[in-house]
Amino acid sequence: MNAILPGRIVAAFGRQYLVRLRDGGLLPCLTRGKKSDAVCGDGVEVKRTGDHQGVIERITQRTSLLHRSDAFRSKLIAANVSQIIVVVAAEPSFSDEVLTRCLIAAFEQNLDALIVLNKCDLVEAAAAARKILAPYRAIGYRVVELSAHENAETLRPYLAGHRSVLVGQSGMGKSTLINALLPDAQAATREISTVLDSGKHTTTHAKLYWLDDSSELIDCPGVQAFGLHHLSLGGIEQGFVEFAPYLGLCRFRDCH
């Protein structure tokens, strides 16, 4: 009888997952059945089905699950994270609506939240972006300013002790930031591609990178929308942290 092996999902492509085992080895795994709700960051128990293949038998209990949804489908993003890092850029312009939705989703999962303003070497554009971010700073959100090409290390202290998930719209410079923080990131991606035999497709799915003994970083594909259809109206209200002192005080019972 094959032994149960504990591990963690570090990459995914469709129903195929790459699991990092306790000994550091990587094992491609499938799920039983056609549907799976496994996601990058999940702790799993697997069994070997061959020298280089396994099957996921169980997903262990999650501490958090970040996802987005619209009226028709839900997209799992990452599990067991403690911090969300939303990357925006001085250029191209970013959507403050997408940023707000990311922060609301993080609040619902009780995650620490950090906003990274990238491409601050573009002086005029950075000044305009700061004005957009000023209200977020005013209500207590942390904002870190940097240029991924010049001082990406500014971010590293904020990663310590966390399993962070990096999210943001396409074009914000997330990949450049990852490569600056993790010089071996491209090599790690190639290794994942080789093991999963999935070529370029691994770049369209979340990947988990090991930073040190207490810190990990999950990089997610860029998003253009961040639906919150899975949240209740009350959950969305509470996600606007600046409203907290006033919730329940309106004289109209059905006020939302």
| Per-residue pLDDT tens listing for the chain (256 residues) | 579 999 999 998 878 899 999 999 999 999 987 777 899 999 999 999 988 899 999 999 999 999 998 878 888 999 999 999 999 999 999 999 999 999 999 999 999 999 999 999 999 999 999 999 999 999 999 999 999 999 999 999 999 999 999 999 999 999 899 999 998 776 455 556 566 555 443 346 789 999 999 999 999 988 888 989 898 887 888 888 887 777 777 777 677 6
Q: How far apart are CA 102 and CA 72, in angstroms?
A: 19
Domain that holds residue 77: 65-219
Give residue 90's identity as a one-letter amino acid code.
A
> Are 116 and 87 in the same domain?
yes
> Are 191 and 74 in the same domain?
yes
Give the domain-ending residue among 59, 84, 101. 59
pLDDT at 201 (0 to 100): 38
pLDDT at 195 (0 to 100): 60
pLDDT at 47 (0 to 100): 96
pLDDT at 130 (0 to 100): 98
Q: State residue 155 phi and psi, 5-degree precision.
A: -80, -25
* Cα 11 from chain centroid (whole Å): 12
pLDDT at 129 (0 to 100): 98
> Are 52 and 70 in the same domain?
no
> Are 21 and 109 in the same domain?
no
> Are 149 and 88 in the same domain?
yes
136 occurs within a structural domain: yes
> Are 211 and 147 in the same domain?
yes
> Are 87 and 113 in the same domain?
yes
> Are 92 and 54 in the same domain?
no
Handedness of CA 169, 173, 179, 180 (dihedral sign): negative
pLDDT at 126 (0 to 100): 97
CATH number of the domain to which 26 belongs: 2.40.50.140
Residues 12-45: tens digit of each pLDDT: 887 889 999 999 999 999 998 777 789 999 999 9
Q: How far apart are CA 81 and CA 7, in angstroms?
A: 16
Number of domains in the chain: 2
191 occurs within a structural domain: yes
